[in-house]
Structure 1
Amino acid sequence: MGVWDLVLVGLVLLLGLCGVLVPGVPGSWLVWAAVLWWALKDPRPLAWGVLLGATVVLFLSQVVRWTLPPRRLRTSGATPRMAVYAGVGALLGFVLVPVVGAIPGFMGGIYLYERLRLGRHKEARAALRTVMRQGGSSVLAELFTCLLIAGAWLGAVIWG
């Protein structure tokens, strides 16, 4: 697979990661489709293994998301800017503390946004709890899954 094909797959993965944070965009499906495209263009056992793992992890993520409360983020006061803070926090956390850092990074991003908006720790903490109860946990589960898949793809491209 050529460099430009890998760049395009990476861009679709990035679009999918951003799509998780935007309501109505099928972010996890874009991430899976990017891995499928890569596996079809580069039919090695490693690529098929990553695709199989991505499929299983996405299925498990959907099962987990069905058990969580439905997304009602707009009623909690969530804004697109908050989604950016949460997404950047999750990505930074995922990179700085590999894999598990995405969870505190996501929540830290929301907390930072609310702290800057409200100005006080107590109100920011209460707003974070409200957002997570109103569907933030569902977004976190989907984003975490997509970050795992993107990380597996990147690892397979670099070291495979």
Structure 2
Amino acid sequence: MELLTVLAAVLVAVGIVGIALPILPGLVLVVAGVAVWAVPRGDAVAWTVLAIVVAIVVIGSVVKYLVPGRRLRESGVPGRTIALGAVLGVIGFFVIPVLGLLVGFVLGVYLAELARLGGHDAAWPSTRKALAAVGWSIVIEMAAGLLAAAVWVGALVFA
């Protein structure tokens, strides 16, 4: 059982790092780590902790996409600009390991706004807003990951 707890801790830690460096599915690894601990233990505490962690991760994942997207739309960045940013983000993920998703998204937003508005001075404010949205997305995901990890650590300490 102690070996599984260590493995769980490693998965949770790698998940937290995966949130900061978006090369790994951070929140998925956090849930997997808690599940590695909870499933073999199989008692009410373990299942409750796993359920709470899954709920935190699901809510965090939804909020991670809703809040930044809404802020971009409210600031006047059109949906097609966000879509091009998303497409280039996915391409960037495969072209530039680790940071390609971020670089591709921001580049996509900049290029779409450059084409739409016709100049750097007009396109740059939208790009800054896209950078802020990416930042908020990472902050929200990190908060969810750390909260989930804290729930699990609390169970380790107090249960």
State the TM bucket, normalised to the shorter chain.
0.5 to 0.7
Match in the other structure for 2:20 = 21
Gaps of 5+ in 1: 77-128
Q: CA deviation at 1:23?
A: 2.1
Match in the other structure for 1:59 = 58
Q: How many residues align?
A: 107
Taking structure 2 as the reference length, the TM-score comes to 0.60
Q: CA RMSD in A?
A: 2.2
Match in the other structure for 2:33 = 34
Higher helix share: 2
| Amino acid corresponding to residue 35 of structure 1 in structure 2 | V
2 CA distance for matches of 1:69 and 1:9?
Answer: 31
2 CA distance for matches of 1:23 and 1:146?
Answer: 13
Secondary structure at the counterpart of residue 52 of structure 1: helix
- For the pair shown, the structure with the greater C-alpha radius of gyration is 2
Taking structure 1 as the reference length, the TM-score comes to 0.60
Q: CA deviation at 1:131?
A: 7.8
Q: Give the % identical residues.
A: 30
| Amino acid corresponding to residue 36 of structure 1 in structure 2 | A
| Amino acid corresponding to residue 29 of structure 2 in structure 1 | L
Q: Retained in 1: the 8 A contact 2:11–2:29?
A: yes
1 CA distance for matches of 2:40 and 2:131?
Answer: 39
Match in the other structure for 2:145 = 146
Gaps of 5+ in 2: 70-85, 90-101, 108-127
